[in-house]
Structure 1
Amino acid sequence: MTRPGKIVILNGAPRSGKSSIVKVIQRDFPGVWINLGVDVSVRHMTPEALRPGIGLRPGGERPDLESNIPTLYTALYDSIAAHSRLGLNVVADFGHHDDYSQSLGILPICARRLKDLPAYLVGVRCPLEAILERRRESPAEYLAPEGNAPIQEPILRWQEAVHRPGIYDLEVDTSNLSPEACAESIRRLIEGPDPPTALPQLSHEEKHAV
């Protein structure tokens, strides 16, 4: 019987440093690590008509897209589970939130798709000041305030919504730790004796139909 591969779910706001951690995990961790995160989904899997798909930002700005979000997430998490059951390790970065025009309860739905698998949920935190600096470095890709202009609401909403309810197996702060140091903390977690608890706990939250 194939031993399930380990699963690391990174959750945080855009520009919090998740992608850099993913790269280190794929490069340095033993075994094969498959990236099945939000960028892969939005850029290479989701048709234009449904974009930004699971990358839809907090605020309820696109209720016309929201009916598809639970199904897109469920399909992706089922793929993560399938990879694990075949013995492949998976690292996936997301910006989970429930700040849509109505509550969709997506994180508990996703947690249930990984039942009985070695799946760890890691919160990737980064202070707003560092987020803004990183956004300004990529103005063509990311919204950012210019000069002394007020910080745009979508940026603030990400900071507020993405870490609710804040139940994690581990949290890292990328303003204080390099991607390598964050990855090392994650490695110690998944190689340690304690089983993951965050996703099992979240899986018991209120159920929503998919």
Structure 2
Amino acid sequence: MTREAGWIVVLNGAPRSGKSSIVAAIQGWDDGPWMNLGVDVHARHVTPPGYRPGLGLRPGGERPEIEAWVPVFYAGLYESIAAHSRLGLNVVADLGHHDAYSEPLGILRDCARRLLGLPALLVGVRCPVGEIMRRRRTGQPGREGEYAVASADDPVPEPVLRWQREVHRPGIYDLELDTSVLSPSDGAAAIRRRLDDPAPFSAFRRLAAE
């Protein structure tokens, strides 16, 4: 049986911006399976321990010894995303794209080219740093010790600020969400409306042409 290409929804944003909660809401939709191919799955279960966090490497050039592999990890992931879509499977992937490595790697442009011709929506998931820090202090079950934290009276840690500065460059999206004012279900509903809108998606095409 021949299937139409499945939807691809890529959520891009900083850690604790609310991406994974939106993924969970999307996976609850009743329009067929939505496969989660996001950063947590890849970094925690696919990538060998010696190469972690893999494509989840944060901005700052802190792990130059694994940076050469990061574009390859991303290429493999996006080829898998494309393959799932071509088989008629919907894909949602929450990621944290940036180019603040020891030297620019041009990963997002390369990834965009791998999705050309497929129905791929790029969503910017934004959240103010104050709310990010509140969520980091609250914690997340199973992720203890993974996030830089600080009290409400202390300066925001530099790794957190780097994420805020770098993750939305160049800021080309089909849709943007502010999770400080939108619940996960609200964010998922906004994505659903954009998928149902007949206007073509353009973000990945524009990024591929850069």
TM band (smaller chain): over 0.9
Structure 1 runs not aligned, ≥5 long: 206-210
1:208 alignment partner in structure 2: none
Structure 2 counterpart of 1:151, one-letter code:
V
- CA shift at 1:77, angstroms? 0.3
Correspondence list, 1:33-48, <5 A = 33-48=34-49
AA in 2 matched with 1:114: L
Matches of 1:61 and 1:28 in 2, distance apart? 38
Cα RMSD (Å):
0.9
1:191, distance to aligned residue in structure 2 (A): 1.2
Secondary structure of the structure 2 residue equivalent to 1:92? strand
Partner of residue 195, structure 1 = 200
Q: Partner residue of 2:150?
A: 145
How many correspondences in the alignment? 205
Q: TM-score normalized by structure 2?
A: 0.95
Counterparts of 1:7-156 in structure 2, within 5 Å, are: 7-138=8-139, 140-156=145-161
How far the C-alpha of 1:29 sits from its partner, in A, is: 4.6
State which of 169, 185, 195 in structure 1 corresponds to 2:190: 185
Residue 127 of structure 1 and its aligned partner are, at CA, apart by 0.4
Equivalence for 2:176? 171
SS of equivalent residue, structure 1 residue 59: coil
Query: Equivalents in 2 of 1:86, 1:150: separation in Å?
Result: 48
- Larger displacement relative to structure 2 (187-196 or 161-170): 187-196
Amino-acid identity (%): 61
Secondary structure of the structure 2 residue equivalent to 1:116 = coil
Query: Partners in 1 of 2:92 and 2:166 — Cα distance?
Result: 22
Q: Per the alignment, in what secondary structure is the counterpart of residue 194 of structure 2?
A: helix
Structure 2 counterpart SS, 1:123: strand
Superposition deviation, residue 142 in structure 1: 1.2
**Distance verdict in 2 for CA 1:129–1:50, change over 3 Å:** same
Unaligned runs of 5+ in 2: none
Greater shift, 150-159 or 14-23, is seen at 150-159
Moved more, 18-27 or 133-142: 133-142
